[in-house]
Amino acid sequence: MPEIKKILCAVDFSDYSPMVADYANMMAKCSGAQILVLYVAPSLSQYVGFHVPPSSIESFVGEIVTGAEDTMNAFVKENFNDLNVEGKVVTGYPAEEILAICEAEKCDMVVMGTHGRKGIDRILFGSVAEKVVKSSKAPVLTVRPS
């Protein structure tokens, strides 16, 4: 049977991120795994050249990351007690970053939420969870909002 030593718990700090954390907690308690909680802040690099100086974009992204790190610290404290947990904030495209960090950190499982988009929203925005499920080398547990 495969061993689960490290779980990547991808969150977006939405109202149901604590539910995703509950599943990661449960899996970690059953396996004794470490948890890496990951938030991917949006990359605004695609806006360089739209009459916005790159330094302004970098400054804004820096503020987003600082705020997200504060939110991450509070989220970890509120949702993960007595477990071996690390919070991490990165910038980029969520699916790509989740996959890259999962591989770089040698995670044995990914736990993440789905937004359950339908219709035109799904066509326009796609699904981060779907991309991760299709491309991840590690098993992915998806948690749908209730």
Give the single-character DSSP code of 46.
G
Residue 67 has a pLDDT of 83
CA dist., res. 81 & res. 53, Å (int) = 43
pLDDT band at 108 (very low <50, low <70, confident <90, very high): very high
pLDDT in tens, 68-79: 899 999 999 999
Token code pair at residue 34? 């470490």
CA dist., res. 17 & res. 129, Å (int) = 14
Span of 21-30, 85-94, 117-126 with lowest mean pLDDT: 117-126
What is the mean predicted confidence (pLDDT) over 112-131? 72
Q: In sequence order, what are the residues at sequence separation of 6 or more whose Cβ sits closer than 8 angstroms to the Cβ of residue 1?
A: none
Residue 43 has a pLDDT of 74
In the numeric block, the tokens 């299709």 are attached to 134
pLDDT in tens, 26-47: 999 999 999 999 999 877 665 5
Residue type, 21: A
What is the mean predicted confidence (pLDDT) over 139-144? 94
pTM for this predicted structure: 0.85
* Pairing assessment for the beta strands 140-143 and 109-113 based on DSSP bridges: parallel
CATH class, domain 6-143, is alpha beta
CA dist., res. 20 & res. 23, Å (int) = 5
pLDDT in tens, 42-54: 776 655 555 656 5
Residue 42 has a pLDDT of 78
